[in-house]
Chain A
Amino acid sequence: MTISLRDSRVLIVDDNEFNRKSLAIVIRRAGIQNIEFAVDGVDGLEKVERFRPDLVLLDVDMPNMDGLEMCRQLRRNATHAELPILFQTALDGDDEQVRCFEAGGSDFISKPIKPGECAARVRHQLERRKLFKDLAEFRGRVEKELKHAQAMQLSLLPEKRRLVEVGDRYGLRIDSHFETSSELGGDLWNVFEIDERHIGFLMADFAGHGITAAINTFRLHTLIDRFAVAWLNPAQWLSNLNNALKDVLTTGQFATAIYAVLDTGTNALTYASAGAPNPVLGTEGDLGLIDSAGLLLGVSRKARYTNRTVALPPGGFLFLYSDALIESRTADGRCIGSDRILEIVQSALDQRPDAPLAHLLDDFFANVDRPLRDDLTAVWIARR
């Protein structure tokens, strides 16, 4: 790969004017136009700050401050830690070459200067620096964009303040946790205030994680309001979502989802599920998993979903979670699995009845390495 060095800046530090001029001729021939000179280490340090070179060609023996000291001082400054510094040393000066590297030199060119070698080494260092800078810039840009996208994704979720308001209105306490395995994730959840008696809950988890899955959560988000008429009929609502997603998702992309509507008047919880992990239902000291089998969303237009109804009276709770909770492996290679989910929910209720979700997650994170390998969403809806 040939990289243009036309914009590269080189500082030549040498107390001998003849050396400065001949070095300049050599590197100008290598295609470098921006060249500045300094006559000793003190002058050199000042020129580095003013001229901001991409590379320094440095003589060792100079009055006032020698090249080794100048190099050491540059390396102590974080700004110049990566600046390529090429020493000019005598070809047979093995000790001197070692001292140059110890002072922080990147490489050296041997004296007397051989034009071909000098140009090649300068070019090599400048190309490396340019690639490094390009990569750092790219990384910086992507990080910034991901941060913006992350904020956008979080805005799809209900704010804590809103959960408190909704909780007060429907006599609920809603606790939640949302954590992506990388900057962006494929989970989405929300609450819907349907009317003064009915409140709906949606949790969806797109296959995979990262940017592709996150884009799908935005797709889903735009579809949610479109089917508002079916809000009281979960199976119908999931069918509508399924058909819309089937149109846009490629094979292998899909979501698991559960949508549940609580009737606070009759205590009936009606839900439909597309393969979401079995939710935990707790009522009057009874704890159990509820059936949530159903074809994944976005796989087939033939998918049919069924409404199931269970009782969720005051004092009871519903716990929804994404598969990361039961599939993340702990240090010993085990995972919670659907066998033990009831066990950890019961333990959380026993230990901290006032904040079981917080306790459950503390226990979980004590045994699992972060970042998680998959996105985690957990929502605990308790009726007061």
Chain B
Amino acid sequence: MDFESSTSSDGIEARLRGRLEFTDHDRLRDIVRLLESDGIKRMVIDLKDLEFIDSAGLGMLLIMQEEAEQRNVKLIVRGPRNDVKRSIDLARISEIITIET
């Protein structure tokens, strides 16, 4: 998985690309670090360009949600498509995390 991030007035956006899976645990730390910027109220994780997510990847989204909550940051997962959307729907992640289509 690769990602690029950008900051705007209302928060941070991280756009994920490729496959989010078991081997990406180290990359997760880099995304969590984005939450540590000053004054962040909102973070969007954009999955539009993500091709695949496995159960470890779903776990990473749940970890992100917890990390965001602890810092009073609103986390939004946006735009999952195809297989990624199917996996997120199957696991009912939307009961825990705000998912925007």
Contacts and interface: CB of A to CB of B under 8 A. Distances in A.
Interface string B69-101: 000000000000001001001111101100000
Interface in A247-287: 251-254, 256, 275, 277-278
A150 interface: no
A275 B54 contact: no
Interface in B18-40: 22
Interface of B: 22, 52, 54-56, 58-60, 62-63, 66, 83, 86, 89-93, 95-96
Contacts of B66: 251
Given A205-B55, A207-B55, A207-B56, A254 B62 contact: yes
B22 A252 contact: no
Given A254-B62, A294-B92, 10 more contacts: A207-B56, A208-B22, A208-B55, A209-B22, A251-B63, A254-B55, A293-B92, A295-B93, A303-B95, A374-B22
Interface residues of A, number: 27
A338 B86 CA distance: 9
B90 A299 contact: no
A207 B95 contact: no
B87 to A, nearest CB: 9
Interface of A: 205, 207-209, 251-254, 256, 275, 277-278, 292-296, 299-300, 302-303, 323, 327, 337-338, 373-374
Please name the 8 residue pairs, one residue from A and one from B, whose CB atoms are nearest each other, closest first: A275-B91, A252-B59, A295-B92, A252-B63, A207-B55, A251-B66, A207-B59, A295-B95
A338 B90 CA distance: 11
Given A207-B58, A254-B59, A327-B54, A296 B22 contact: no
Contacts of A251: 62-63, 66
